[in-house]
Amino acid sequence: MKIAVVGTGYVGLVTGTCFAETGNDVTCIDIDEKKVNSLKNGKITIYEPGLEVIFQRNLEQGRLNFTTDLAEGIEGAKIIFLALPTPPGEDGSADLKYVLTVASDLGPILKEYAVIVDKSTVPVGTADKVHAAIKENAKVDFDVVSNPEFLREGVAVDDFMKPDRVVIGTTSEKAKKLMETLYAPLVRQGNPVIFMDEKSAELTKYAANSFLATKITFMNEIANMCELLGADVDSVRKGVGTDTRIGKRFLFAGIGYGGSCFPKDVQALAKSAQQVNYDFRILKSVMDVNEDQKTKLIPKIKEYFGGDLKGKTIGLWGLSFKPYTDDIREAPSLYNIEKLVEAGAQVKAYDPEGMENVQGQIGEKITYCHDAYSAINGADALLIATEWPVFRTPDFEKVAKLLNNKVIFDGRNLYSPEQMKDLGFTYVSIGRETING
């Protein structure tokens, strides 16, 4: 099938590449000429494990094409995906200017029936708005469908190729058939394609992300209680996660959730609620708790150094908001850097993928190191913000030798308190016993 994808950001590029891999003829369209040229020349613009190899293959075999020209890109496409940014506006609600501008541009250039698909996370009612914007100047029949993505960064290709489910919001039989054909290769193992109306599909995306953010936040609050009561959050997690109604995943306490989706989507759902005069109290608490959780270890670091961080050097492991991505949007590391620098400390950091992005954002506010050990060489303490595998089993003897004090503040609970006790470290983690080495 011939399909088009408008927007070659994270979602658009994964969507386009994966649909080319399942045999479709895909054209990706973007207004950014530099990006399009780079993609055309086989230079991938995002870091996502597993994507590059299928990107190269489909480019070489001619199933994946790129252009800046919308009319040329949608020529003959039966399905046109909109994978455009929906950044939070000043009031926290999603800004639809990119989506609606492309929708208006599409109207006059559609030459035959097509399904226009909202792939971006958009507030309930957006499909209607997109429909109206296209209809204004459309000469042919078309349908607008909501098909939210549930891709996790770092495992997006796998999530795309083997989705738990595909949600499709449409009341048009014609659109339903086309979407079913397109997704058929991805749901062969029996995972469901769930059809519903457009508004329910739009809300499903916000509900899923907000629920997951709430699940994490709930465990973070349990962790905080564990610290006060002398209980152990790892044990509690295992104890509750084995109940199949709760499930084992997304129960890991830490220094808060970040990324491009959870913070933005929770905020946008809260804003939507406000707009229909509904007081969505849980969401307000989730945002509030997560805000505090991100820098939860800072007072403990201060306390360790007698209240003053002036002149201290903190080695920081992890900058990206989670492992296997270079994405630093809403990364807890950034909030910690801000507080540490504000308190007069110096920060020496290492991250396998996120350093370039952080340097682009905050410049030389911190020192960037070429590996984990150089980041702690001569540092007064180690702070861990992201659970990259390379940090999980370091040479602890070397760590002890390089640090001025044998102290680790672990925001991702990478090591066991018992092990740290045996090794003689002072070890502060989340929701578990503090070890005073």
**What residues act catalytically?**
261
254 is in an annotated binding site: yes
Question: What are the angstrom distances between the C-alpha of 139 and each of 2, 114, 212, 430?
Answer: 21, 12, 42, 59
Contact between 218 and ligand UDX by CB under 6 A: the answer reads: no
Contact between 431 and ligand UDX by CB under 6 A: the answer reads: no
For the beta carbon of residue 49, count every other beta carbon within 10 angstroms.
14
Contact between 262 and ligand UDX by CB under 6 A: the answer reads: yes
| Cβ atoms of 414 and 252 closer than 8 Å | no
Which range, of 36-44, 179-187, 249-257, 354-362, touches ligand UDX by CB under 6 A? 249-257
Residue 12 or 254 with smaller CB distance to ligand UDX: 254
Residue 212 or 428 with smaller CB distance to ligand UDX: 212
Contact between 174 and ligand UDX by CB under 6 A: the answer reads: no
256 is in an annotated binding site: no
The whole-angstrom distance between residue 62's C-alpha and the CA centroid of its chain comes to 30
| Cβ atoms of 401 and 411 closer than 8 Å | no
391 is in an annotated binding site: no
Question: What are the angstrom distances between the C-alpha of 253 and each of 135, 232, 410?
Answer: 48, 11, 11
**Binding residue (CB under 6 A) for ligand UDX from 250, 368, 373, 396:** 250
Span 194-213, contacts to ligand UDX by CB under 6 A? 209, 212
Contact between 47 and ligand UDX by CB under 6 A: the answer reads: no
Contact between 12 and ligand UDX by CB under 6 A: the answer reads: no
Minimum distance of ligand UDX from residue 40's CB (angstroms): 27
Helix (H, G, I), strand (E, B) or coil at 380: coil
Spatial distance between the Cα atoms of 182 and 314, rounded to a whole number of angstroms: 51
Q: Round the CA-based radius of gyration of the chain to a whole number and report it.
A: 24
280 is in an annotated binding site: no
86 is in an annotated binding site: yes
Minimum distance of ligand UDX from residue 259's CB (angstroms): 3
**Residue 107 carries which side chain, given as an amino acid letter?**
G
Minimum distance of ligand UDX from residue 424's CB (angstroms): 29
152 is in an annotated binding site: yes
Contact between 254 and ligand UDX by CB under 6 A: the answer reads: yes
Contact between 149 and ligand UDX by CB under 6 A: the answer reads: yes
Contact between 258 and ligand UDX by CB under 6 A: the answer reads: yes
The whole-angstrom distance between residue 286's C-alpha and the CA centroid of its chain comes to 17
Spatial distance between the Cα atoms of 186 and 192, rounded to a whole number of angstroms: 10
Total residues contacting ligand UDX by CB under 6 A comes to: 19
The whole-angstrom distance between residue 208's C-alpha and the CA centroid of its chain comes to 13
Nearest partner of 121 among 201, 40, 8, 220, judged by Cα: 201
> What does the longest C-alpha to C-alpha distance in the chain come to?
74
Contact between 151 and ligand UDX by CB under 6 A: the answer reads: yes
**Binding residue (CB under 6 A) for ligand UDX from 73, 163, 259, 431:** 259
Helix segments in 51-197, DSSP class H: 51-60, 70-74, 97-109, 126-135, 156-161, 173-183
Residue 149 or 198 with smaller CB distance to ligand UDX: 149
Contact between 261 and ligand UDX by CB under 6 A: the answer reads: yes
Contact between 216 and ligand UDX by CB under 6 A: the answer reads: yes
Spatial distance between the Cα atoms of 230 and 266, rounded to a whole number of angstroms: 31
Spatial distance between the Cα atoms of 348 and 255, rounded to a whole number of angstroms: 19
Minimum distance of ligand UDX from residue 156's CB (angstroms): 8
Minimum distance of ligand UDX from residue 209's CB (angstroms): 6
For the beta carbon of residue 420, count every other beta carbon within 10 angstroms.
23
- Quickly tell me which residue has 């007064």 as its tokens: 380
Minimum distance of ligand UDX from residue 5's CB (angstroms): 17
Closest-by-Cβ residue to ligand UDX is 261
Residue 98 or 250 with smaller CB distance to ligand UDX: 250
The whole-angstrom distance between residue 160's C-alpha and the CA centroid of its chain comes to 14
Name residues whose C-beta falls within 8 Å of residue 178's C-beta, 6 or more positions apart in sequence. 1, 78, 79, 115
30 is in an annotated binding site: yes
153 is in an annotated binding site: yes
- Interaction pattern, residues 223-242, with ligand UDX; x per rule: CB under 6 A: --------------------
Spatial distance between the Cα atoms of 100 and 122, rounded to a whole number of angstroms: 11
Contact between 322 and ligand UDX by CB under 6 A: the answer reads: yes
Binding-site residue numbers for substrate are: 150-153, 205, 250-254, 258, 322
Q: Which residues bind ligand UDX (CB under 6 A)?
A: 149-153, 209, 212, 216, 250-252, 254, 257-259, 261-262, 321-322
